[in-house]
């Protein structure tokens, strides 16, 4: 005995397609990540610098993020083009301070490692 279709599903949709391929509806889906201001302030650095920042963030939480803040002053691009360079610098300093202050309860250390991984990912795209 087959189960009955639920809430608006048709019996044809409930059973697998027998023609080999499912009919295409022609819908294009685009996924775009929305970043908060702290995450969008991560600079696009050269790959070796990003790896050094990841290394620093792994062993001293927030240190790599602190170093990356100065790359913004050296002209590194971020996902916040409408904000002034000094504002993005201070956002990175704030992220480093959050990582340092919350490292006591391991949250900052984990955040710091993920921040460093994001730096490397952005550098590999750059």
The parent domain of residue 58 ranges over 44-101
Quick check: is 70 in a domain?
yes
Quick check: is 80 in a domain?
yes
Quick one: what percent of the chain has pLDDT higher than 90?
59
- Whole-model pTM above 0.85? no
Quick check: is 126 in a domain?
no
Quick check: is 8 in a domain?
no
Quick check: is 115 in a domain?
no
Residue partners of 108: CB distance under 8 A and separation at least 6: 61, 62, 98, 99, 100, 101, 102
Quick check: is 66 in a domain?
yes
Quick check: is 73 in a domain?
yes
pLDDT tens for each residue of 37-74: 889 999 999 999 999 999 999 999 999 999 999 999 99
Quick check: is 58 in a domain?
yes
Domain count of the fold of the chain: 1
């Amino acid at each position: 005995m087959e189960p009955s279709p639920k809430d608006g599903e048709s019996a044809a949709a409930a059973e697998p397609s027998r023609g080999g391929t499912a009919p295409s509806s022609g819908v294009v889906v685009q996924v775009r990540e929305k970043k908060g201001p702290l995450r969008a302030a991560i600079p696009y650095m050269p790959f070796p610098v990003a790896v050094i920042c990841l290394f620093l963030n792994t062993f001293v939480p927030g240190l790599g993020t602190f170093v990356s803040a100065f790359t913004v002053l050296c002209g590194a691009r971020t996902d916040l083009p409408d904000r002034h360079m000094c504002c993005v610098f201070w956002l990175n300093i704030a992220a480093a301070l959050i990582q340092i202050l919350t490292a006591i309860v391991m949250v900052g250390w984990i955040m710091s490692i993920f921040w460093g991984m994001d730096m490397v990912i952005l550098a590999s795209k750059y």
